[in-house]
């Protein structure tokens, strides 16, 4: 297994621990929608949905200039900034919502945006309720599943197929696997991770969160 996959999983577990263990701070209601949660193993970690910021994914063929133009065409968002555009294993960007939108309006915007073939996912950002810094956490279309036993791969394959979830090729380490949710699914990656966790079939299932690490 490639070293980067080991590092990826190590950073993921560190992020989960940080979100779980940080002290609680209040969140400004005007900037958030309803509360969501994910599982840190058996514990529920609560998150506030941002009402101002999204994480949007783009097809591999989309350049920054094309993504910038696309976001502008939607007319719901502020101008895309180069510093927010990431082109690595997958392409995505932080996107700011223009003006004030209700939470129901944001849901409709997400449904509309995901209809475009150049968009691979679009999700509201989250603020961990127990965060010290209120740093936003982004959600992609991926989540990570740990098997109870390394021989349980057939259980994972069957459950993933049943729920129309793709096991990402080459993105596994030991009994840990990355799964990808299609944007046409009725669940996003966080909701699907919760569904896998609540099935009782797996050791854990957690979203593949994005977090900005600021250099000191």
In the chain, ranges of CATH 3.30.70.60 domains: 49-137
Distance CA 60, CA 6 (A): 24
| Structure confidence at residue 77 as a pLDDT band (50, 70, 90) | very high
- Alpha-helix runs per DSSP H in 114-165: 153-162
pLDDT digits (tens, 9 = 90+) for 166-194: 999 887 677 899 999 999 999 999 999 99
Cα-based torsion angle of the residue sequence 93, 97, 102, 104 in order, rounded to the nearest 10 degrees = -40
CATH number, span 3-18+140-211: 3.30.70
In the predicted structure, residue 140 carries a pLDDT above the cut 80: yes
Angstrom distance (rounded) from CA 39 to CA 143: 12
Q: Model confidence over 46-75: pLDDT tens digits?
A: 999 999 999 999 999 999 999 999 999 999
How many other CB atoms sit within 10 Å of the CB of residue 46? 15
The CATH fold of domain 49-137: Alpha-Beta Plaits (3.30.70)
Q: Give dist(CA 191, CA 67) in Å, integer.
A: 27
Residues 67-96: b if buried by 16+ CB within 10 A, e if exposed: bbebbeebebbeebeeeebbeeebbbbbbb
Strand-pairing partners, residue 93, are 56, 85
């Amino acid at each position: 297994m490639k070293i980067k996959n080991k590092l990826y999983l190590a950073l993921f577990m560190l992020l989960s621990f940080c979100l779980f263990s940080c002290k609680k701070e209040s969140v400004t209601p005007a900037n958030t929608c309803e509360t969501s949660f994910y599982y840190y193993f058996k514990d529920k970690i609560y998150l506030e949905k941002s009402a101002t910021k999204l994480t949007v994914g783009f097809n591999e063929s989309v350049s920054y200039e094309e993504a910038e133009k696309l976001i502008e065409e939607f007319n719901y968002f502020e101008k895309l900034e180069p510093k927010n555009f990431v082109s690595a294993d997958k392409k995505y960007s932080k996107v700011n919502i223009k003006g004030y939108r209700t939470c129901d309006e944001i849901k409709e915007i997400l449904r509309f945006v995901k209809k475009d073939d150049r968009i691979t996912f679009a999700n509201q950002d989250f603020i961990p309720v127990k965060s010290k810094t209120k740093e936003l956490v982004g959600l992609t279309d991926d989540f990570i599943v740990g098997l109870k036993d390394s021989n349980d791969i057939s259980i994972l394959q069957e459950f993933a197929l049943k729920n129309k979830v793709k096991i990402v090729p080459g993105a596994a380490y030991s009994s840990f696997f990355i799964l990808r949710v299609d944007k046409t699914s009725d669940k996003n990656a966080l909701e699907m991770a919760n569904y896998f966790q609540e099935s009782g079939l797996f050791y854990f299932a957690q979203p593949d969160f994005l977090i900005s690490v600021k250099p000191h």
